[in-house]
């Protein structure tokens, strides 16, 4: 079974639109960590954010915000006023405290921002 599900394979938006990337995870651990990574066309994987399971506060960083809801096992990522430079593949990931350091990635969502 998939530990991390990113149901949206591809999304296209017009510049300046807001866009939300969905991430649903599955775990039985009470202590776990959630992450988002960005992979721009240049190919590198860039860490964006980490959240632990005890901290459900939403986080905002500039145009980026993250909504963590344990009740629905979701960790969604919203980009406000999207820009062309936001075009990339975005990966959600999960790490479980009791899992011997395993790190589970979703299949990624490819975001295209059209000028």
Partner 1 sequence: DAGVIQSPRHEVTEMGQEVTLRCKPISGHNSLFWYRQTMMRGLELLIYFNNNVPIDDSGMPEDRFSAKMPNASFSTLKIQPSEPRDSAVYFCASRAGMNTGELFFGEGSRLTVL
Residues that bind partner 1 (CB under 8 A): 33, 35, 37, 43-45, 47, 50, 52, 91, 93, 95-103, 105, 107-108
SS3 66: strand
Q: Residue 49, by phi and psi: left (phi above 0), alpha (psi -120 to 50) or beta?
A: beta
Residue ranges in 1-115 assigned as alpha helix (H): none
| Least distance to partner 1, CB of residue 34, Å | 10
Compare residues 74 and 107 and give the one whose CB is closer to partner 1: 107
| Least distance to partner 1, CB of residue 45, Å | 4
Compare residues 79 and 91 and give the one whose CB is closer to partner 1: 91
Q: Give the whole-angstrom CA distance, residue 68 versus residue 49.
A: 12
Q: Give the whole-angstrom CA distance, residue 69 versus residue 40.
A: 27
| Least distance to partner 1, CB of residue 81, Å | 26
Compare residues 39 and 74 and give the one whose CB is closer to partner 1: 39
């Amino acid at each position: 079974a998939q530990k991390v599900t990113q149901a949206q394979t591809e999304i296209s938006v017009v510049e300046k639109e807001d866009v939300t990337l969905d991430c649903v995870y599955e775990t039985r651990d009470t202590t776990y960590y959630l992450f988002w990574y960005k992979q721009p066309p240049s190919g590198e994987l860039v860490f964006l954010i980490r959240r632990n399971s005890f901290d459900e506060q939403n986080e905002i960083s500039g145009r980026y915000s993250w909504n963590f809801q344990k009740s629905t096992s979701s960790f969604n990522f919203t980009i406000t006023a999207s820009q062309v430079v936001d075009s990339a593949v975005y990966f959600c990931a999960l790490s479980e405290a009791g899992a011997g350091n395993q790190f589970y990635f979703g299949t990624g969502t490819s975001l295209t921002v059209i000028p």
